[in-house]
Amino acid sequence: MTRGNLFKLTFMAGALSVLLAGCDSTSPPPGTALEKASEISNLRDWSVLRGVENTHRLEDTRKPFLIIERANGSNLNVVGLPTTDSTGYVWIIANPTSEPAVKQMPSTSAFSLTQDQYDNISAKVQLHPEVAAFLRARVRAG
């Protein structure tokens, strides 16, 4: 499978998963131009995140974190943190373009980080305020 076909397949899978997830109370009013723009932005965020996770699924977890800048040709920066069981990385969009601001994949994987990791990440990429709070809440003592 070519990289282009993989990206298209990943985008379609991401779009389908977002559509199946439905809307929440923060969604714009149905049928408005704002709703359409929000849906497109949300689909793009999830598609990029899914593509990064898929591409780096077997990445060596010995690195304390990874940053993928301008992931998949987008303006999104994605942070990878090793899972607590060292089976891979949890991927989080640093600068999402839509709500919910915190998008994590895989969504069920546990992770934590040190204060040093958090400080290094926040020095290298601009974190959305909600993403920064989400990461700070997972900083472990020591």
**Residue-wise pLDDT tens digits, 67-88:** 999 999 999 999 999 999 888 9
Residue 120 covered by a domain: yes
Residue 70 region by backbone torsions, left for phi larger than 0, else alpha for psi between -120 and 50, else beta? left
Q: For residue 142, is it within any domain?
A: no
Domain region containing 19: 3-136
Q: Please name the residue that has the structure tokens 């891979």.
A: 88
Decide: pTM greater than 0.85. no
Q: Predicted confidence band at 17 (pLDDT cuts at 50, 70, 90)? A: very low
Q: Is the residue at 141 inside a domain?
A: no
38, 58, 77, 92, 121 from 68: Cα distances, Å: 23, 15, 6, 10, 11
H/E element holding 102? Answer: none
Q: Is residue 27 part of a domain?
A: yes
Number of compact structural domains in the chain: 1
Q: CA 82, CA 99: separation in Å to the nearest integer?
A: 24
